[in-house]
Amino acid sequence: MEALQSLRSLASAVESARLNGSLALPDMLDRYRIADLPLAARLADAHRMSWWNDYQFEALNAHSALSGMFNGIRVVGSDSWQAIEVVLSEPLIGLESVRQAREFLEISGLLRFPRYRTLTVQEKRRRVKRLIRDNEPPASVKKAQNLVHRYEKLLRVLIAQGMEQAYGESWSEARLPVCDCKKLLRKTLEGEESVLDHADYIHYELIMCHDEHFEAVFAVGYTDIDELRRTIKRLAQLRARSHHGRAFTSEDLRELVTLWRAMEAGFEAFIDDIVLDS
């Protein structure tokens, strides 16, 4: 009861000081003025400190209003900077140590330390789900991934088809070591997988741009081996951007589509001119 009476007495003192004009604030801060009762509660906290003097009341009011401003704005504009400069231009009189200044700033609400707590399992689960939802790939990435998936599968089929026609059914055992792709032969195949299902763009490049392979198989669809090599390298870079969470722009999508269409134009040469019409 005594504490409540003391708080009411301080609130009355705050109101009186405000009416007498001793708690004037910069125009920018006036709208963030702390109400009498909350300011009285801060004043009560200050009175418990050995360093407190009543002449510090005005500074407490200004710093409390500044804290309220930070809580109430979303963008720090020129008025905000002006209010900050006005408050900082007045020295903190009567505070003789960093500890005392810290206590003063804590009471005003300006100095706030982060609070930690242990999250529940449900909270963790909700945060993980939100993070997954927030990181859903944009439409351009989804289109790129779908496009790459289709073209890569077709490219592997056509490479295997062309190499088999030129070097026979055992082309992988005979030709992969020749073009530095023998490590693919060590892969364990499951189900209907082929050796090229474990290939990457570096393997596509090594196989297609090997001088003998290019001349025997791929020159029918592409006339410039160096351009083919550069195209495959660039497609690899664009695939990495779209599939590994990196920045992927609309310009990247345009380039990806264009280069795969160029590759597609060469694919047509690998399709037999005559088929058995059953």
Residue 7 has pLDDT above 60, yes or no: no
Q: Is pTM, for the whole model, over 0.85?
A: no
Q: Report the distance separating Cα 38 and Cα 10, nearest Å.
A: 10
Both 103 and 146 in a single domain? Answer: no
**Is the separation of the CB atoms in 269 and 228 below 8 Å?**
no
**What percent of the chain stands above pLDDT 70?**
90
Query: Domain range spanning residue 22?
Result: 2-108
User: Considering 88, 108, 128, which residue would you say is the last residue of a domain?
Assistant: 108
- pLDDT: which is higher, 208 or 273: 208
Domain co-membership, 66 together with 146 = no
- pLDDT at site 112: 82
Judgement on whether residues 183 and 222 belong to the same structural domain of the protein: yes
- Lowest-confidence segment of 5-9, 153-157, 206-210 by average pLDDT: 5-9
Percent of the chain with pLDDT over 90: 51
pLDDT at 180 over 70: yes
Q: Is residue 52 part of a domain?
A: yes
- Residue 126 belongs to some domain of the structure: no
pLDDT tier for residue 221 given thresholds of 50, 70 and 90: very high
Q: How far apart are CA 42 and CA 61, in angstroms?
A: 9
pLDDT of residue 205 exceeding 60: yes
List, as one string, the DSSP characters of the chain.
Answer: -HHHHHHHHHHHHHHHHHHTTTT---HHHHTTPPPHHHHHHHHHHHHTSTT--GGGHHHHHHHHHHHHHHHH-SS--HHHHHHHHHHHTS--TT--SHHHHHHHHHHHT---PPP--PPPHHHHHHHHHHHHHHTPPPHHHHHHHHHHHHHHHHHHHHHHHHHHHHH-TTHHHHHTTTTT-GGGGGSPP-TT--GGGG--HHHHHHHHTSHHHHHHTGGGT-S-HHHHHHHHHHHHHHHHHHHTT----HHHHHHHHHHHHHHHHHHGGGS-S-----
**pLDDT surpasses 50 at 19:** no
Q: Which of 89-93, 127-131, 141-145, 210-214 has the highest mean pLDDT?
A: 210-214
Q: Which tens digits make up the pLDDT trace of 106-124?
A: 999 999 877 778 889 999 9
> Is 148 in the same domain as 80?
no
Both 160 and 266 in a single domain? yes
Across the range 58-67, mean pLDDT stands at: 90
Report the number of distinct structural domains present in the chain: 2
The predicted model gives 246-253 an average pLDDT of 86
Q: From CA 20, how far away is CA 162, in angstroms rounded?
A: 95
| pLDDT greater than 60 at residue 105 | yes
Residues 95 and 157 both lie in one domain: no
> Is the same domain home to 195 and 261?
yes
Do 263 and 150 reside in the same domain of the chain?
A: yes
* Domain co-membership, 181 together with 249: yes
188 within 8 A of 239, measured Cβ to Cβ = no
The arithmetic mean of pLDDT across residues 69-97, rounded, is: 89
Average pLDDT for 173-194? 92
Average pLDDT over residues 55-61: 89
pLDDT attached to residue 231: 97
The answer on 143 and 254 residing in a single domain is: yes
Contact 180, 206 (CB under 8 A): yes
Rounded to whole angstroms, the Cα distance separating 108 from 67 reads 7
Q: Is residue 115 part of a domain?
A: no
Domain match, 258 and 145 both: yes
Are 89 and 152 within one domain? no
Average pLDDT value over all residues in the chain: 87
Answer whether residue 216 is part of any domain: yes
Residue 114 covered by a domain: no
Vertex 103 angle, CA 105 and 115, to 5°: 80
Quick check: is 132 in a domain? no
Span 217-223, average pLDDT: 94
Q: Which residue has the tokens 């083919």?
A: 228
User: What contacts 141, CB < 8 A, 6 or more positions away?
Assistant: 242, 248
Question: Confidence class of residue 9 from pLDDT cuts 50, 70 and 90?
Answer: low
Flag whether pLDDT at 33 surpasses 90.
no
- Least confidently predicted of 11-25, 204-218, 225-239, 243-257: 11-25
Residue 117 domain flag = no
| Position 277 in a domain | no
Torsion of CA 178, 181, 186, 188, to 10 degrees: -130
